[in-house]
Amino acid sequence: MKRLLMSGIVVVLVVALAGCGAGGDGRIFTGPGLVGIDDTGVSTAPILRVTYTVPPSTTVITANILSDLASDGDIAFDPFFNDFTVTSGLSEVLFGEDSFDIDLRKYRAFLTFPLDGFTSQDVVPSDALIVSATLEVFVNSVSFASVVPSFLDLVQYPFRGLSSAYYDTAPISFRTLDFFSSDEGNYVLIDVTTLMEDAQLVPGLTDFQVRFIVNSAETLSPSRAPATNSGRTARSQPRLLDNLSPNRGPSASQPASPPDQASRKR
């Protein structure tokens, strides 16, 4: 009789847990989480802010560079069909795992910040000495997990040429950081000073490009040595729009198609 009573309690607990934090199919969501980053207007688009000097001058210059919408995007991997879906020019880029998708599709988000002024934004010269750099994103959503441990990779891919080949390429360098459910509806400011310093060391690099991926056992690899956690803050106040160009695409005199990389110089 005692054994039957205990079995009944276990059944009740399992049913109760299945109804708590579960989807329509009864699955309980425990991660790894899915983060949506806004990629629309000037007020919420990702922005790179870099302060630098150009020796021998000691004058500190600040560059504000909005990401290039046509280059931004995400890549979704479907482990069931073993295929990729690459989408650019989105109003929102995603990274993480979609627990609502029966195939548990995995996303990685990509952002591009031209450093040579191609999109009529500020320029960071190739000989600049970096003082500081921050990347600010507006978080639309954090789903399926209260904390999403993440990698922020410095990567390189063709300007406006995102493809599945760059889903899993080795990063030039990377940082780690966490996103939280409390970030939803807020701006998150991320310290990327070391990534910007590393970008300056790559010959001929014309774009600062980053990839957001979930930090999990699946995404760890021997090429990823331990990295310090990137400093970050969250705020709800609207962004100051001083000295920000409203143009996020090429100027009227520049082609919308990808430029010849050899012609782009800093």
Q: Is 61 part of a structural domain of the chain?
A: yes
pLDDT tens for each residue of 211-249 = 999 987 666 566 676 666 889 999 999 998 877 777 675
Q: What pLDDT, on a 0 to 100 scale, did the predictor assign at position 240?
A: 85
Same domain, 14 and 76: no
Same domain, 201 and 87: yes
For residue 129 the two structure tokens come to: 């000495």
Q: Which segment of 37-46, 114-123, 251-260 scores lowest on mean pLDDT?
A: 251-260
Q: Which segment of 19-28, 110-119, 219-228, 257-266 scores lowest on mean pLDDT?
A: 19-28
For residue 248 the two structure tokens come to: 């996020």
Give the list of residues 6+ apart from residue 157 with CB closer than 8 angstroms, or none.
110, 163, 165, 166, 169, 209
DSSP single-letter state for residue 117: S
Same domain, 122 and 147: yes
Same domain, 67 and 4: no
Same domain, 36 and 72: yes
Give yes or no for residue 258 having a pLDDT over 80: no
Q: Is 102 part of a structural domain of the chain?
A: yes
Give yes or no for residue 91 having a pLDDT over 60: yes
Q: Is 19 part of a structural domain of the chain?
A: yes
DSSP single-letter state for residue 6: H
Q: Is 254 part of a structural domain of the chain?
A: no
Same domain, 123 and 240: yes
Same domain, 15 and 68: no
Same domain, 105 and 18: no
Q: Is 120 part of a structural domain of the chain?
A: yes
Same domain, 5 and 36: no
Q: How many structural domains comprise the chain?
A: 2
Give yes or no for residue 36 having a pLDDT over 90: yes
Instruction: Output phi, psi for 127, to 5 deg.
Output: -100, 15
- The mean pLDDT value for 177-197 works out to 97
Same domain, 121 and 226: yes
Q: What pLDDT, on a 0 to 100 scale, did the predictor assign at position 230?
A: 82
Name the residue range of residue 9's domain: 1-30
Same domain, 1 and 50: no
Q: How confident is the model at residue 263 (pLDDT cuts 50, 70, 90)?
A: confident
Q: What is the pTM of this model?
A: 0.86
Q: How confident is the model at residue 164 (pLDDT cuts 50, 70, 90)?
A: very high
